[in-house]
Structure 1
Amino acid sequence: MTTITFRPLTPNFGMEIYGVDFSREQTADDIALLRRLWTEASGMLLFRDQHLTPADHVRLTACFGKVQDDIATQAPVLAHYLLEGYPEIYRVSNKKIDGKPLGREDAGTYWHSDGSWMQQAPRGSILYAVELPTVGGDTMFADMAGAYDALSPPVRVMLDGLNAVHSVLNAAISTSYTKEYAGKLDQAASKAAIHPVILKHPVSGRPAIYVNEGFTAKIVELTQLESTAILKMLFDHCTRPDFVYRHRWQLNDVVMWDNFSNMHFAVPNYKAHGWRLLNRTTVLLEA
């Protein structure tokens, strides 16, 4: 019987977990512990040296909640990046076979929270490193709960009660999503939602800043000029080095995060250094 242990990834958020082998079934007690640690780590968990089949990846995802299996319906433009036979697994990769992309090459090359444009945004994402370049391709994560705690009291008061529009159109205009939605901006515009600027985590109740450069278009209650200024201040604040963990990938890493507590940025500096292939599953918020 193995014992689960852990260490902090940063002084403020994230944990590296030891003693877990996701190629095997997990006990109910271990699942309960991992779920608790996920919340206590403010969203970020790292598991090294996992050797997973796609079925293993889906099973480990189910340890943390309901597994999203309708990615092709929610985002049809991404359907061809799903792993054949596994509608739960979305691939991010610069690798091509016979000229055909194996996954989405420039996925996440901007600060964002996965699915914040959905009416019910997904709680978590779980990424598994299948193939890596010789150097580069790090992913940065921001602690949005810690960033909220560091705001001055008057700014917290100002933000309380404000709401923001999150839209795929915002990303389609200004990020690598442009390529996916070329000629389909009407489809991008239809995928939008309004969420509180300060979101109380649905499990822990801890408040976090819930805006991101990729999908957040405007703060509803403010003028465009006011909204642009406040959002820029928040983006700059949340990505200060003291709120950021930069993950240097190792083969067979499993990294998971909470989209209500974290946003992330994939650093696109690796393409001259080999193939990069990561498989991602999504954990939905349980009712």
Structure 2
Amino acid sequence: MSITFHMATPNFAFEARDVDISQPLSAADVAQLRKGWLDAGGVLFLRKQDITPDQHIDFSRHFGNVYDQGPVNNPALAGYYLEGYPQIFQVTNKKLADGRPVGREDAGTYWHSDASWQPEPPTGSLLYARELPSTGGDTIFANMYQAYETLSEPMKKMLEGLEAQHTLLSAVLQTSYAKEYVGKLDQAQSKNAVHPVIKTHPETGRKLLFVNPGFTSHIIGLPRDESKAILDYLFAHSTKPDNVYRHVWQLGDLLMWDNRSVMHYAVPNYKAFGIRYMHRTTIKGIPQ
């Protein structure tokens, strides 16, 4: 297989071409795709894939350990997994005949890094487009390497060594998570972790900014007003147009993102234009 990579935007997000992941991949193919994913800043996509759920899961295993109902940590969402495939989460505005949702409709409709409130957040996710509206439903990604690298040197020095609190409660108070935690704010508050504001990627060795509006509540050791001012600046800086890639989905797209180096935002502007039905696997760790 002769894989080629094409930049979707300067220095961020690559399209891998001449790849059919319904067919077995050699070790060399996998190594090339993994290198392309890391070189792309953590966003890699493949067009015109025609894969089964089993093939989706098998491909995901090349890049990490696949979660089995793990990512949500919320029993209320257990029914949103594809029947017979607890590794595949359904993200969709589809409804059953009785009006119940097929999957999680408003997943990710805010800037975030998946489950950064966990001590060891997921490595990444692989999202596959099975049905799309006539317009809308894009996903936007922010390059957190570039967000760090384009900070001023005094700002970098100030942030070095600082840590921030990440909590699910932050998302519950401001996003679609609210309806899932009515009367259970204590549960959301208990899901929290502390991470460095500036991290070093374990595979690339590059420094990156690791804060996000969805889950980062405050910088530890700073007065709340100072913390808020700094975080608001970092959030705005990270999502400047020069730091982002907007993916316009096509049927059969499989897109994988590195949760360690990007934030993402699912744009919820499509509901009047049809069904958006996606399959998502989530990975953790690095395959040995």
1:68 and 2:63 are equivalent in the alignment: no
**Residues 64-103 of structure 1: matches in 2 within 5 Å?**
64-71=63-70, 74-98=73-97, 99-103=99-103
Aligned letter for 1:88? Q
| Secondary structure at 1:264 match in 2 | strand
Name 2:173's counterpart in structure 1. Answer: 173
C-alpha distance in 2, partners of 1:202/1:75? 28
Q: 1:109-131: CA deviations, max 9, x gaps? A: 10001111111111111100011
Aligned letter for 1:30? D
C-alpha distance in 2, partners of 1:183/1:81? 21
Q: Any conservation in 2 of the 1:42–1:145 contact (CA below 8 Å)? A: yes
Q: 1:72-104: CA deviations, max 9, x gaps? A: 773333222111211111111101011121111
Q: 1:179-223: CA deviations, max 9, x gaps? A: 121222122111111111111101111111111111111111211
Aligned letter for 1:134? S
| Secondary structure at 1:96 match in 2 | coil
Aligned letter for 2:192? A
Percent identical residues? 55
C-alpha distance in 2, partners of 1:199/1:68? 24
Aligned letter for 1:75? N
Aligned letter for 2:240? R
Q: Any conservation in 2 of the 1:77–1:181 contact (CA below 8 Å)? A: no
Name 1:262's counterpart in structure 2. Answer: 262
Name 2:152's counterpart in structure 1. Answer: 152
Aligned letter for 1:20? V
Worse overlay, 141-150 or 73-82: 73-82
C-alpha distance in 1, partners of 2:212/2:75? 22
- Structure 1 residue 70: Cα displacement: 3.8
Q: Any conservation in 2 of the 1:66–1:284 contact (CA below 8 Å)? A: yes
Aligned letter for 1:129? A
C-alpha distance in 2, partners of 1:150/1:106? 31
Q: 1:128-151: CA deviations, max 9, x gaps? A: 001100000011000010110000
Q: 1:228-280: CA deviations, max 9, x gaps? A: 00000000000000001111100110111111110001111000000111111
1:38 and 2:33 are equivalent in the alignment: no
Name 1:117's counterpart in structure 2. Answer: 117
Worse overlay, 101-110 or 73-82: 73-82
Aligned letter for 2:257? W
**Residues 1-287 of structure 1: matches in 2 within 5 Å?**
2-71=1-70, 74-98=73-97, 99-286=99-286
Q: Any conservation in 2 of the 1:90–1:103 contact (CA below 8 Å)? A: yes
Q: Any conservation in 1 of the 2:80–2:102 contact (CA below 8 Å)? A: yes
C-alpha distance in 1, partners of 2:25/2:277? 26
Q: Any conservation in 2 of the 1:167–1:188 contact (CA below 8 Å)? A: yes
Aligned letter for 1:238? S
C-alpha distance in 1, partners of 2:234/2:132? 32
| Secondary structure at 1:22 match in 2 | coil
C-alpha distance in 2, partners of 1:201/1:77? 33
TM norm structure 1: 0.97
What is the number of equivalent residue pairs in this alignment? 286
Structure 2 runs not aligned, ≥5 long? none
| Secondary structure at 2:257 match in 1 | strand
Structure 1 runs not aligned, ≥5 long? none
Aligned letter for 1:229? A
CA root-mean-square deviation = 1.2
C-alpha distance in 2, partners of 1:73/1:263? 17
The structure 1 segments of at least 4 consecutive aligned residues displaced by more than 3 Å after TM superposition are none
Specify whether residues 4 and 65 from structure 1 end up closer, same or farther in structure 2 by C-alpha distance, changes over 3 A only: same
TM norm structure 2: 0.96
C-alpha distance in 2, partners of 1:265/1:74? 20
C-alpha distance in 2, partners of 1:156/1:76? 40
Q: Any conservation in 2 of the 1:142–1:239 contact (CA below 8 Å)? A: yes
